[in-house]
Homo-oligomer: A and B are copies of this chain.
Amino acid sequence: MADRAPSDSPSGTLARPRRSDATRAAILTAARDRFAADGYERATIRAIARDAGIDPSMVMRYYGNKEGLFVAATEIDLRMPDLTAVDRDGLGERLVRHFLDVWEHDERLTGMVRVAVTVEAGAERLRAVFRDQLAPVIAAVCPVPDEAPVRAALIGSQIIGMAMARYVVRIPPAAGLGHDEVVAWLAPTVQRYLMAERP
């Protein structure tokens, strides 16, 4: 029972900075790296603490338990662009290029996939990203907004599948493709999932 009140944003809206913010940030950074690299089980609290240069018990103090740390460390922001300003025929390409870009600049995504497969809290995270970040953007440009969840799921399935092939499992032919090749192959798929009338 120490400081349970301000457990949300590290440097949040109006909360004045705490003396421990640097430590909290170090923990989160280390946790992100470990979760992404090793998955949930193998990313031990001790290893994370060691990376952050502090004692394991600090992790417990600030994040309650391992799952709390995981939740705090893996807030995902897909940084979805505004698609309503994009040429209708270029949506597929725009989306694929965006995902390639995001994926290679934020190792959290690979970590999220790794964890989503293993532990329920991770799966829920991934479902939430689909529901709250991907689907709404799709709905904004989708001919029939009601179909947005299904279309988002289809698009997501192709994106996650390619991410698995390239970044997680590293299947050679997929990992070896250049950005433009991936875009050339996947863009028409995404475009169809987005715009084609329901088959």
Q: Check A172 against B149 for contact (C-beta < 8 Å).
A: yes
Q: Check A188 against B192 for contact (C-beta < 8 Å).
A: yes
- Chain A interface extent, by class: 35 or more
Cβ of A133 < 8 Å from any Cβ of B? no
Stretch at the interface among A25-33, A53-61, A114-122: A114-122
A141-177 near B? 1/0 per residue, CB < 8 Å: 0000000011011101111111011001111111001
Determine the residue in chain B with the shortest Cβ distance to A147.
B173
A19-53 near B? 1/0 per residue, CB < 8 Å: 00000000000000000000101100000000000
A176-199 near B? 1/0 per residue, CB < 8 Å: 010001001100110011000001
Determine the residue in chain B with the shortest Cβ distance to A188.
B192
Which chain B positions have C-beta within 8 A of A18?
none
**What is the count of identical protomers in the complex?**
2
Which chain B positions have C-beta within 8 A of A158?
157-158, 161, 189
Complex Cα spacing A193 to B123, Å? 29
- Which of A42, A127, A153, A192 has the most chain B CB atoms inside 10 A of its CB? A153
Complex Cα spacing A170 to B42, Å? 24
User: Which of A117-143 touch B at CB < 8 Å?
Assistant: 117-118, 123, 126-127, 130
Extra A-B contacts (18), CB below 8 Å, given A39-B41, A160-B161: A41-B41, A116-B168, A117-B118, A123-B170, A149-B172, A150-B173, A150-B177, A153-B174, A153-B177, A156-B165, A157-B161, A157-B174, A158-B161, A158-B189, A159-B161, A161-B161, A161-B162, A164-B164
